[in-house]
Amino acid sequence: MKTTFREIIDRCIIPHIEYYFDEVYRERENLTIDGVKAFNSIDVFVAGKLINAFSYLVVEFSQDQDKFAEYKEKLRELVDFASNLEFKTWGSLNCMTGLYRLKKQGILSEVLRRETRERLKEKCDWRRFVNLDDLSLIELPTNYYGVAFGVSRYMELLGWDDSGYSRKLLDKLMAHIETYSGGLGYMDETKGEGRFDRYSLLTPGELSAMLTETKTEVPARLLELLRKSCDVHLNLANEEGDGFSYGRSIGPYGDTSSMEVLSIAACLDVLSQEEKELAYIFNLKSVEKFVNFWMDQDMKSVNLWDKGRRTDGYRNKNRILGENLSLCMQLIGTYEHWTKAGFSDKTVAADYPEKLQKLPQFSFHKFLQGEYDRGMAIIRDGKHVISLPLINGGATKYQCTPYLPIPNANRFLETGADTRHPNLVPRLVTDTGVELMPISYFKQMNCKSDKDALVISYDQDELANLEEKAPKKFHGIKTKTAYRFTQGCIEREETYYSEGAAQQFQEMNMEFATFSKKPEVNGNRIVFGEGDILEIEVFGLELCDILCVEGNPEYCTSHGSLQTLVRWRKRDFAINEHRSVKWVIKYR
């Protein structure tokens, strides 16, 4: 049966928030969800998310006189309760969002006691994570400028702050984007280290939504950045509702990132009518996936952590209540944008597969061109939508598996959050034990396509030394790398060159973890009897292990456990003129 966005909100999302409203009201600090205390010292965002989600619930039932009166009184008690908890960044923004919603409804004074207001005014102040002298963030990535702007703007609208800093904070973020993007309009999450991930594309959507919600004009340049983000997310559209697939904090948030960007873009007429129709169905598919996959009825919760799933430490299970509330609110925000765009009562169109087929088979999105190049390719091949990120990752993330320059696709080519494996990229060990990888210093990035193939190549004049928090250049070895994508096949060849005298290495190792099962060795090839990956063939390294990794936490992904791990290595060798490593993956 075809379902509209509104029907899913009414049938699944609002009752889910109601369930937690009742649970929190009854249990307060004693609430436990799937064995985890809902209120703990680790989740410093949950108090604000509680205020945001439950304020929405009160406003949603404003036409039901009895329920409205009951929920309003309960919310008053819960806001008092929440105000005594810790607030940081996203928690502060959620709190301000919820309070402003109550003000627009005309009931803020009925819910917020004076002493509670003063407590929240102090705890949620954006100055707690921004240096007032130069408006620099205090040890936070760039996307937190958006958080600071939102908190400041809502405080102004609530009458809590008349300093006018919200515009200055917005200008600070826009200046950062222009400074570190080489003028291409994609946000580096770092100060020029080259981390372009989900947040790089999501931030224009989040900012545009906050500006729209607070009746502030969206700057023309921000609309241009939003359009660039849409170009990526539209090319990711698929039948499964899968969104962004590499980097940190993905899983359901990879899906909701496409929802947030495309829905506000439709609301602001950044998309054409044809694009709106495609984007809406894509978003509706993501909502259906949320209900059918991410929501776990046994847990009465979203599931990012169990039954073979894994997320990063940032979204650990101590945040279980907050994750339930914030994800529901992201879906509701998306629904509200589509309502304003005139689409929320539409179902999935029968011609959606035809719309997907009209999307480009290959696309390349250059994020940065400068001393080093950064970019992302999208390859559409049948049911598979594959992302190839060529980015650094910046300090603490550059060597994490989800940031490696390798193909990514949910349930197909997926890796575990916060892991550090040489997945499809060789790792070298010098004769003194230093570990190196060709992952950070992309130059001469080139993309060529015809109707049958996409070829992406790049050079690196240095390898990345993995010993420190941020990548450090290792000189003496250069590489040339080329990817070739054809129907049902991905090839990667990397050639290593020594500058000057030959260099000795203890080992070069590489691995491949896959959802496919029943591996068999056939010469240089590993052939799989079950799964989407048919085979992998490796040249330049020697096969050493084939292991079952089902249920191994190191090899669990957002969408479940990988099944098979294959390892290769080469020991005691030298690189002089050149040495190549090549692999070929064939898939169904």
Residues in the chain: 588
Task: Name the pTM for this structure.
Answer: 0.96
Is residue 540 a contact partner of residue 582, using CB atoms and an 8 Å limit? yes
pLDDT for residue 163 is more than 90: no
Cβ-contact 93, 151 below 8 angstroms: yes
Cα 4 off chain centre by: 25
Segment 74-82 shows an average pLDDT of: 98
3-state SS class at 99: helix
Which H, E and C letters describe 512-533, residue by residue?
EEECCEEEEEECCEEEEEECCE
Residue matched to tokens 């790398």: 481
What residue has token string 């005014």? Answer: 121
pLDDT of residue 369: 86
- The answer to whether the beta carbons of residues 223 and 270 sit under 8 Å apart is yes
pLDDT at residue number 74? 98
Q: For position 106, what pLDDT does the model report?
A: 96
- Residue by residue, what is the 3-state secondary structure of 42-74? CCCCHHHHHHHHHHHHHHHCCCCHHHHHHHHHH
Rounded Cα–Cα distance for residues 586 and 338 (Å): 39
- Please check the confidence at residue 404 and state whether its pLDDT lies above 70: yes
- 165 contacts: CB under 8 Å, gap ≥ 6: 126, 135, 152
3-state secondary structure of 412: coil
Give per-residue burial for 333-372: e unless 16+ CB within 10 Å, then b: bbbbbbbebebbebebeeebeebbeebebbbbbbbbeeeb
Taking the alpha carbons of 573, 575, 577, 578 in that order, is the dihedral positive or negative? Answer: positive
Q: Does residue 393 register a pLDDT over 80?
A: no
Closest C-alpha among 215, 213, 523, 558 to residue 401:
558
Q: What pLDDT was estimated at residue 184?
A: 85
Of 172-181, 205-214, 252-261, the least confident: 172-181
pLDDT at residue 344 in the model: 84
d(CA 376, CA 388): 5
Are residues 418 and 312 in contact, defined by beta-carbon separation less than 8 angstroms?
yes
The pLDDT of residue 349: 87
- Report the pLDDT averaged over residues 571-576: 93
| Per-residue pLDDT tens digits for 405-423 | 999 999 999 999 999 999 9
Q: For position 1, what pLDDT does the model report?
A: 53
Q: What is the pLDDT of residues 358-390, one digit of tens each?
A: 999 999 999 998 889 999 999 999 999 999 999
Reported as a single tens digit per residue, the pLDDT across 531-550 is: 999 999 999 999 999 999 99
pLDDT attached to residue 151: 97
CA distance 519 to 496: 30
> Are 219 and 226 in contact, with CB atoms under 8 Å apart?
no
DSSP state string for 335-386: HHHHHHTT-TT----TTHHHHHHTS-SEEEEEEE-SSS-EEEEEEEETTEEE
Which pLDDT score, from 0 to 100, does residue 3 have? 87
Residue type, 446: N
Mean pLDDT along residues 246-266: 95
- Nearest Cα neighbor of 536 from 580, 486, 582, 583 is 583
What's the rounded Cα separation, in Å, for the pair 345 and 357?
A: 25
Predicted confidence (pLDDT) at residue 505 exceeds the cutoff of 90? yes
Across the range 305-330, mean pLDDT stands at 96
Share of the chain above pLDDT 90, in %: 87
Query: How many whole angstroms from its chain centre is CA 97?
Result: 22
Mean pLDDT of 48-74: 96
pLDDT of 98:
98
Q: What backbone phi and psi angles, to 5 degrees, belong to 406?
A: -135, 160
Whose CA is closest to 54, among 38, 75, 70? 75
Average pLDDT of span 419-445: 97
Please tell me whether residue 419 adopts helix, strand or coil conformation.
coil
List the helix and strand counts (H, then E) for the chain: 15, 24
Cβ pair 54, 80 in contact under 8 A: no
What one-letter code names the amino acid at 394?
Answer: G
Question: In the prediction, which pLDDT does 178 show?
Answer: 81
Which sign does the torsion angle of CA 498, 499, 505, 510 carry? negative
State mean pLDDT over 459-472: 95
**Average pLDDT in the 225-252 region?**
95
Mean pLDDT, all residues of the chain: 95
Q: Give the model confidence (pLDDT) of 2-42 as tens digits.
A: 789 999 999 999 999 999 999 999 999 999 999 999 999 99
